[in-house]
């Protein structure tokens, strides 16, 4: 199978699973993004803590905790949301502090470096993906369209930036981090993404134009920064991809880096503005 064919086949099944999981209902949405959170955490910890499986498992459990709690609240498995959110936010502290105790007895040469990576997995991946629940239920009921719209905005920004940069790119954006990214590509991505935001306001009219436009701008700015930050991570570790589970596309973190990074800003925008 050629490289292009491999990429196309992987992309087809990837999109099919994403659409099925998002539009299958609240439960399939929760299952889908639990698995995505798990895979992204595992890839991140596999790169940053490659020599200890126990640390990776601990990091994945702690990182999954925020999404699991909020998902259970939104599925009405847990009642009294305000009380449970408060209790759960406090419960994660002893979970994190247990990692200190683990490092105390492992005789590691860099215990606080290990702790930092386990906690960073929560902040960088676990909490942002957990905030996706608030976006999905922003109107009080589960709305798959806004999740799909956010993914489409992120993917469109990436795709338009890639093709515009390949054809017209001359001015480097941040060469020391990502030598191939250019300002021309960034502008092309922005034009394509804002254009899609306008289209989404007609396709999914339950979300007004002003919200789609704001989400489009967030996808351009913070999605682009998220992609650069993942490039910074890979460059610092000397790797090309975060994983190989998606043939021709790298790992899960390669595919969701921009989406995950924009989520806190999209959540704040929808809930507060």
What's the pLDDT at 87? 60
* Range scoring the smallest mean pLDDT among 25-39, 70-84, 124-138: 70-84
- Contact criterion met (CB below 8 Å) for 136 and 149: no
d(CA 124, CA 127): 7
What's the pLDDT at 9? 77
pLDDT digits (tens, 9 = 90+) for 76-107: 776 655 555 556 666 778 888 888 988 888 88
Phi, psi of 182 (to 5 degrees): -130, 165
What's the pLDDT at 247? 64
SS3 of the chain: the string is CCHHHHHHHHHHHHHHHHHHHHHCCHHHHHHHHHHHHHHHHHHHHHHHCCCCHHHHHHHHHHHHHHHHHHHHHHCCCCCCHHHHHHHHHHHHHHHHHHHHHHHHCCCCCCHHHHHHHHHHHHHHHHHHHHHHHHHHCCCCCCCHHHHHHHHHHHHHHHHHHHHHHHHHCCCEEECCCEEEEEHHHHHHHHHHHHHHHHHHHHHCCCCCHHHHHHHHHHHHHHHHHHHHHHHHHHHHHCCCCCCCCECCCECHHHHHHHHHHHHHHHHHHHHHC
Distance of CA 171 to the CA centre of its chain: 28
- Contact criterion met (CB below 8 Å) for 129 and 146: no
**All structural domains of the chain with their residue ranges:** 26-141, 144-273
Give helix 127-136 / helix 252-272 axis angle, nearest 10°. Answer: 50
pLDDT digits (tens, 9 = 90+) for 152-184: 999 999 989 988 988 887 888 888 888 888 888
């Amino acid at each position: 199978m050629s490289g292009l064919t491999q990429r196309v086949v992987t992309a087809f099944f990837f999109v099919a699973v994403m659409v099925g999981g998002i539009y299958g209902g609240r439960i399939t949405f929760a299952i889908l993004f639990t698995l995505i959170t798990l895979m992204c955490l595992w890839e991140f910890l596999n790169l940053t803590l490659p020599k200890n499986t126990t640390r990776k498992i601990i990091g994945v459990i702690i990182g999954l905790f925020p999404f699991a709690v909020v998902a259970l609240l939104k599925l009405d498995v847990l009642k009294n949301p305000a009380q449970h959110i408060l209790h759960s936010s406090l419960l994660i502290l002893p979970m994190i502090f247990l990692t200190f105790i683990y490092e105390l007895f492992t005789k590691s040469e860099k215990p606080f470096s290990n702790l930092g990576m386990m906690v960073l997995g929560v902040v960088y991946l676990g909490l942002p993906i957990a905030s996706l629940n608030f976006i999905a239920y922003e109107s009080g009921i589960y709305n798959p369209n806004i999740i799909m719209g956010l993914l489409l905005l992120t993917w469109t920004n990436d795709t338009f930036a890639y093709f515009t940069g390949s054809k017209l790119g001359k001015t480097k954006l941040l060469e020391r981090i990502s030598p191939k990214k250019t300002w021309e590509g960034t502008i092309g991505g922005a034009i394509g993404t804002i254009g899609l935001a306008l289209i989404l306001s007609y396709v999914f009219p339950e979300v007004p134009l002003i919200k789609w436009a704001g989400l489009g701008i967030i996808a351009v700015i913070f999605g682009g920064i998220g992609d650069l930050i993942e490039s910074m991570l890979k460059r610092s570790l000397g790797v090309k991809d975060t994983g190989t589970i998606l043939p021709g596309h790298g790992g899960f973190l390669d595919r969701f880096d921009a989406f995950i990074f924009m989520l806190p800003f999209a959540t704040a925008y929808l809930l507060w503005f």
